[in-house]
Amino acid sequence: MSILELRDVEVEYLRRDGAVLRAVAGASLRVEAGEIVGLVGETGCGKSSLARAMVGLVATSRGEVRFESQPVHPLGRRARPARETRLQMVFQNPYGSLNPRRRIGDQIADALVNSGDRSRSPRRQRVMELLFRVGLSPDTADRHPHQLSGGQRQRVAIARALAADPSVIVLDEPLSALDASVQAQVANLLVELARDLGMAMVLISHDLAIVRHVAHRTAVMYLGLIVETAPTDQLWEAPLHPYTRALIDAIPHPDGSGQLPEALAGEIPDPANPPPGCRFHPRCPLAFDRCRIEAPPLMEVANGRDVACWLHIPSTPSVPIGQTTPVESVA
Amino acid sequence: MKPLLEVADLRISLPGPHGMVPIVDGVDFEVHGGQIFGLAGESGCGKTITALSLLGLLPAQARTSGRAEFGGRNLLTLKSAELRHVRGRQVAMVFQDPTSSLHPMLSIEHQLTEHPRVHLHMDQKQARRRALDLLEQVRIPDPETALHAYPHQFSGGMRQRIQIAMALACEPSLLIADEPTTALDVTVQAGILRLINGLRQTAGLAVILITHDLGVLSALADTVTVMYAGRVVEAGSTAHVLQRSRHPYTRGLLDSLPHPEKPDQPLVPIRGTPPSPAERPPGCVFHTRCMYAVENCRREVPPLIELSPGRVAACPVDPFATELVA
C-alpha cells in the first residue's frame, strides 16, 4: 500500500480574465514508504500546485489525494486532523517560512507542540535532538533566522518539519536558493534522513541533475501532466518521453568540453489554453498525426516505467493503467 | 595581442556598520576581442560588484582602486559623461532578471529604439528598422508584432532575448552578462547560451559571463577566473580549470556538483559556508573550509602562482600535484 497516493488530481485556478487555468490536469503518482520521489519539470508545469495539493494546501477540483490510506483534507478554518501532521512540507525560501522575530529553538518547539509532541523527554531536549539530526550545533537554538546562512535556515525548516515525526515530507525546490557547495550538503542530508528515519520524500525541483543524485524514482511533468515516471537511473539512461530526453540534453555539464547543450524548440504553451492531443506535440521533434489529435494516456510500458507517449504505447488498443489496477487511473 | 579589457589589482570596498568592508580584494583579469571570459564563484564572492564597477554603477559611497583599461582609458576613473558614452555604446550589460530591467509600461519598440536614437542619433524610422534587425538577430518570432507588445506579454526566455537585443543595439564590443540564464528553465537556457555563442562568432562580440553555474561556463567560456571571498583563486582556459583544477576551492565546487558520468558517486560538499565580507579569515580566505590547509595557510595570503602563461592558482600547498603527474 502506498503511503501517499494521488489519483487523477486536478488543480484549477480562476484567472483574473475569467479563464480557468488548470495547473494540474489529471496527475497520478504513488509514493511508497521510505522512498524519495523526484518531481521535475519547468516553470508553469504545475509541479508546485501538485505539491500543494499533495499536502492539502490547495483543494483539488477533481481526483483524490490519499495519505496513509485516508483522504487528505484541504486546509480550512479548522485544525487539520492530527494524523495529517505526519504529512509535512518544506518550502523553497526558508526565510519566508521562518518567523524572523522568534528564536530557532522556540520555533522548533512550537512545531513540537502543534503536532502534539508524543515524546516524554523534556521539550528542550527534543529541540536539541532535532538540531543534531539536521547537522546544526546546539547553540543554533538561541539564534534568530537572520543570523543563519541560507543553508542553515533550510536545515531549520527541515528540523521543524521533522518535529511532527512525519512519514512523508514534500519539499518544494528546497535546494534551488542555495549555492552549489551548500546545496550538496542539504541534498546529502535529505538522503540520510530518508534512509535513517525510513521517511518518504517528494522532492520537487527544476534541477534534474540534483534529483538524479537524490531520488529513487523520478516523475517528469509537462504542462499539468505527468508524462513519464521511472526509476531514476533508468530515466536517465533511457528516457522514453521526448520531453524527458530534451530536458536531459539541455543540461550543460561542467566537464570543460566546451559542448553547447541542446535547445528545445518553441515555448511552453499557455496552460489555460493547452494544445489539443498530446500537450507536448507542438514542440516534439518526433510528433506524428495521432499526437495532434489524441492525448496519450500515462501507461505502464515496462516494469515500473510509465510513459504518456504514442511512440511507446503499443498500437493495439491496450488498457490504460487506471483500468487494470484500481489504485491508479489516468485521464 | 593587446586585450580589449585589462583589469589589474581591482579593489572595491563598501561602507558597513563598522567602517569600510573590502568586497573585492585585488582582482586581475583580461578579456580579449571575440572571446567569452567566465567569472565564476558563489553568491557574495564579489563577481557582480566587479562587473558593476566597470560600468561605474557602484553606489556613490563605494571606494575603488586599481585599473580597468578599455580602449586606452581607465574605466574606473572616467567622469560620468564619459561613462555614459561607454555604457551602451561600447560596453553593455545584461542582468539576471529581465523582468526588472525592462520597463513594464513601455512598449518593446520604445525600449529598443531609445539607444539607437540617443547614442547613434538615428531618427525614429531608422531606429525602428534597427530594432527589427535586432529582434531578428535574437530570434524573436514575428518581430513586427513584438515591437508593439509589452514585456509582460513575453515569456522569461523571450524577455531575456529582448534584453540582449537592447544591449546589442549600439553594437558594443563588450557585453557583460550577469547570470543571464539563472532565472530561466534549462531548455530555455540552452537556447540563450546558443544565442550568446552565435553573437560571439558572427559579431565578434567579447563577453564577460558571470555565473555560479560551472556547467554554463563549460559550455561557453574560453577562459575562466574563479573567485572566492573577493579574491581570484584560480584562472586559466576553461578546459584546464575544469578538468585539471589546481585550487581546492575549484575542486570542491566541482565535487559538490552532480557528475553526469558518475551518478553513483556521492556529492561531496565543501564543509562550512562562505565567510561574509566583514568576517573574512586572515591568510588564505578559503583555509577555514579547506581540507588541505596547513599552518601557513592561516597566516599568509597565498600569491597567485603562474603555472603556465595565462594559468594561475593561489595555492602553494597544491594538494593535487601528484595526481597531475600520474
Strands across the sheet containing A225-231: A87-90, A168-172, A200-205, A36-40, A217-222, A225-231, A305-307, A299-302
Sequence length of chain B is 326
User: Who wins on pLDDT, A327 or B88?
Assistant: B88
A256 touches chain B (CB under 8 A): yes
Q: Nearest CA of chain B to the CA of A317: how many Å?
A: 33
Which chain B residues have a beta carbon less than 8 Å from that of A260? 190, 193-194, 197, 219-220
Kindly determine whether residue B185 and residue A43, on different chains, have CB atoms separated by under 8 Å: yes
C-beta separation of A250 from B187 below 8 A:
yes
Kindly determine whether residue A213 and residue B219, on different chains, have CB atoms separated by under 8 Å: no
B274 touches chain A (CB under 8 A): yes
Q: B124-137 and B108-120 helices cross at what angle (nearest 10)?
A: 120
What is the model's pTM? 0.88
What percent of chain B is modeled with pLDDT above 90?
Answer: 75
Cβ within 8 Å of A, B 176-205? 185-191, 193-194, 197
CB pairs under 8 A between A and B: 134
Q: Residue for cell digits 576553461?
A: B238
User: Who wins on pLDDT, B303 or B98?
Assistant: B303
For B118, the enclosing helix (H) or strand (E) is: helix B108-120
B220 touches chain A (CB under 8 A): yes
Task: Please report, in tens digits, the pLDDT of each residue of chain A (331 residues total).
Answer: 799 999 999 999 998 888 889 999 999 999 999 999 999 998 889 999 999 999 999 999 999 999 999 999 888 888 788 888 899 999 988 878 899 999 999 999 999 988 877 676 788 999 999 999 999 999 999 999 999 988 899 999 999 999 999 999 999 999 988 888 889 999 999 999 999 999 999 999 998 989 999 999 999 999 999 999 999 999 999 999 999 999 999 999 999 889 999 999 888 888 888 999 999 999 999 999 999 999 999 999 999 999 999 999 876 555 555 444 444 444 4
Distance CA A13, CA A19 (A): 9
Q: Nearest CA of chain A to the CA of B167: how many Å?
A: 22
Distance CA A251, CA A259 (A): 11
Which chain A residues have a beta carbon less than 8 Å from that of B267? 184, 187-188, 213
ipTM entry: 0.86
DSSP H helical segments within A55-165, as ranges? 94-97, 104-114, 123-133, 150-162
Distance CA A289, CA B181 (A): 34
Residue A315 is predicted with a pLDDT of 65
What percent of chain B is modeled with pLDDT above 70?
Answer: 98
Which chain A residues have a beta carbon less than 8 Å from that of B219? 252, 258-261
Distance CA A254, CA A34 (A): 32
Buried residues in B64-102 as b, exposed as e (16+ CB within 10 A): bebebbbeeeebbebeeeebeebbbbbbbbbbbebbebb
Distance CA A298, CA A314 (A): 12
Residue B61 is predicted with a pLDDT of 93
